[in-house]
Amino acid sequence: MSLSEDPPVKSWDLEFHLAVAAVKANNNNSSELPIEQVQKQFNEKYKIEAPPNIILEQVILDERYRQESRKHLEKILKQYEDVLDEKWKEPNDRLHGEWVYTKDENNEMDKVILHIHGGGYYVGSPESFRGLTFKYAEYAKARVFSIDYRLAPQNQFPASLCDSVAAYLYLLNPGLEAGFKQINPKKIVFMGESAGGGLALATLLFLRDAELPLPGGAVVLSPWVDLTQSMPSYLNAEIDKADFVNKKLGIRGIGSSSSLEDEFNANVKALSDKIAQKKPKIVGHPSFTEVPRFNLYCANEAIAIPYIRQVHVFYLKNLLVNIILIIYSYPSHSSYLIYSPMLAESLGDLPPILCQVGGLERFRDEGILFSYKAAYPHEYQLPSYATKNFEKSPFKNPTKVILEVYDDMPHAWHMFTFSKPSQIALERCGDFIKRVTSIRDNNTSTINLFKENAVSPTIPVSPSFIGMRISINGEIRELNKTDQDCLKWDKIGIVSKM
């Protein structure tokens, strides 16, 4: 797809087509800048200032929140220590965050969106992702707290998870210096797009497993939830025509030669040597180690850890222009972090989740399977190597999930906020957040998470799941056959040798 070609989808107008084509064109023109220079330029050059209706407040969290988070992580992750780089325990700077809210008198100040930004997990900050947080605050009538977590490749797993948990603990138990009272966890909603969605889900799973208070819900937009990249839509050549996410797998370098690249390569070798010496037993498929290391954030042997998020090293060379174009041509953006909740033993007992995916995006099928697996944990115990101990799991209660598949939309179409499909999706996100933070008990059905007359009578509804297709104009209908065919896929969780 190029700027001179006709739209690959008839429903796209010229403005939408040109925006997607520009992203794809820039995605094919890789940047050769050293990664540290990419990170610096991104944050310095593309900081977005607040419009008159938005209030911003900068925060530096006390280190005690990271210390408390670290204690929880060390306990839960002890079983994986042989495949992890221990340097995550030594942060080089303080954890920053940013409050975003409107001047609207109708804001519910006790309702908070914990936003986890995207940016491929190697660029970005709350300042450079304000295009979305401004929209979230407006649509949900809530305060947004966006965190500046540690980035890869300087920081390996579980550095960013440690920071997201720390930010949540800050909301639950702020000190006097914070200037606000404790936030009821049921009034907090996690929110992230693509990369941020992956970390949001990782944090939910960790909080559940650590027996910490869970938030009221989560909203994930085009989340990348299959680290193994095994689902049919990921491999579908037809989707190449509409989506701009590159499906190539494998290390392609992290930009021009630099001290950071040298340090990363040295750390990779040291961790590889450690794993070879320890010979840890890992849960997974043989395909995990039949390919070279293909992400920045963890060793291949760690893929099955359910809190892992992965960054394609390939994207570090070609993603910068892509992200910059999206964010600053239009007041929103995309991200490319992936994470594997699909490999969790069970996705039950999580708070209500709204999952929005595009009908023509590469990550469509994994978002669909994730939604079904969370809502029906007894029926979707996949893949078998990751769920063999499901019967012993204490987390078997269905998670309430709303799955929305948007006709003809590519990955993270929310970024194109000038378009009607983006506005429809963001409005539905805001409504979900308003409703999920008003739930008084755990017996609420998924149907109560919708405003009146928002679901067609033809759509099947269960206490734990509602799945629907949404047209480019907002009409609602049942999921189609393609959406459900992926549930029968026989290669779930197997790394492809593309």
Q: What is the pLDDT of residues 166-185, one digit of tens each?
A: 999 999 999 888 989 999 99
User: How many Cα atoms are found within 13 Å in the side-chain-facing hemisphere of 380?
Assistant: 26
pLDDT at residue 310, rounded to an integer: 41
Query: Which DSSP state fits 420?
Result: H
Better pLDDT: 478 or 302:
478
Tokens of 185: 């966890």
Residue with tokens 């992580």: 73
152 pLDDT band, cuts 50/70/90, is confident
Distance CA(213)–CA(198), nearest Å, equals 19
Q: What is the mean pLDDT of residues 109-130?
A: 87
Q: Would residue 217 count as lying in a domain?
A: yes
Tens-digit pLDDT profile for residues 382-416: 898 888 889 999 999 999 999 999 999 999 899 89
Residue with tokens 């993270």: 412
* pLDDT greater than 80 at residue 313: no
pLDDT at residue 4, rounded to an integer: 61
Pairing state between β 188-193 and 108-116: parallel
Q: Would residue 322 count as lying in a domain?
A: yes
Better pLDDT: 436 or 496:
436
Q: What is the separation, in whole angstroms, between the first and last Cα of the chain? A: 22
* pLDDT greater than 60 at residue 329: no
339 pLDDT band, cuts 50/70/90, is very low
pLDDT at residue 316, rounded to an integer: 38
CA dihedral (457, 463, 469, 471) positive or negative: positive
Distance CA(111)–CA(169), nearest Å, equals 15
Tell me the angle at which helices 320-329 and 14-27 cross, rounded to the nearest 10 degrees.
Answer: 150
**Beta strands in 177-296, from DSSP E residues, in sequence order:** 188-193, 217-221
10 Å Cβ neighbour count for 191? 26
* pLDDT greater than 90 at residue 91: yes
Better pLDDT: 310 or 148:
148
Better pLDDT: 413 or 4:
413
pLDDT at residue 331, rounded to an integer: 31
* pLDDT greater than 80 at residue 296: no
pLDDT at residue 312, rounded to an integer: 40
Domain hosting 177: range is 14-488
Cβ–Cβ < 8 Å for 359, 162? no
Residue with tokens 């700077």: 93
Better pLDDT: 313 or 189:
189
Q: What is the mean pLDDT of residues 105-118?
A: 87
Q: What is the mean pLDDT of residues 330-339?
A: 31
Better pLDDT: 250 or 172:
172
Count structural domains, the chain: 1
Distance CA(427)–CA(434), nearest Å, equals 11
Q: What is the mean pLDDT of residues 138-150?
A: 96
Q: What is the mean pLDDT of residues 413-425?
A: 93
Residue with tokens 């530096």: 60
pLDDT at residue 328, rounded to an integer: 32
pLDDT at residue 314, rounded to an integer: 35
* pLDDT greater than 70 at residue 453: no
Cβ–Cβ < 8 Å for 163, 145? no
Q: Would residue 479 count as lying in a domain?
A: yes
48 pLDDT band, cuts 50/70/90, is confident
pLDDT at residue 114, rounded to an integer: 98
pTM: predicted TM-score of the whole model, two decimal places:
0.89
Q: Would residue 4 count as lying in a domain?
A: no
pLDDT at residue 426, rounded to an integer: 96
Q: Residue 21: which CATH number? A: 3.40.50.1820
Distance CA(369)–CA(372), nearest Å, equals 5
* pLDDT greater than 60 at residue 30: no
Q: H or E element: which one contains 367?
A: helix 364-375
Average pLDDT taken over every residue of the chain: 84
User: What percent of the chain clears pLDDT 90, i.e. is strictly above it?
Assistant: 50
pLDDT at residue 5, rounded to an integer: 76
Q: Would residue 5 count as lying in a domain?
A: no
pLDDT at residue 326, rounded to an integer: 35
- Among candidates 308, 373, 293, which has minimal Cα distance to 338? 308
Q: Would residue 216 count as lying in a domain?
A: yes
Q: H or E element: which one contains 102?
A: strand 96-102
Tens-digit pLDDT profile for residues 190-248: 999 887 888 899 899 999 999 999 999 999 999 988 877 888 998 888 898 899 887 76
Tens-digit pLDDT profile for residues 252-291: 445 566 788 788 888 888 888 888 888 887 777 888 777 7
Tell me the angle at which helices 159-172 and 195-209 cross, rounded to the nearest 10 degrees.
Answer: 70
292 pLDDT band, cuts 50/70/90, is confident
Q: What is the DSSP string of 368-419?
A: HHHHHHHH-TTT---STTTSTTGGG-S--SPPPEEEEEETT--TTGGG-TTS
Q: Would residue 7 count as lying in a domain?
A: no
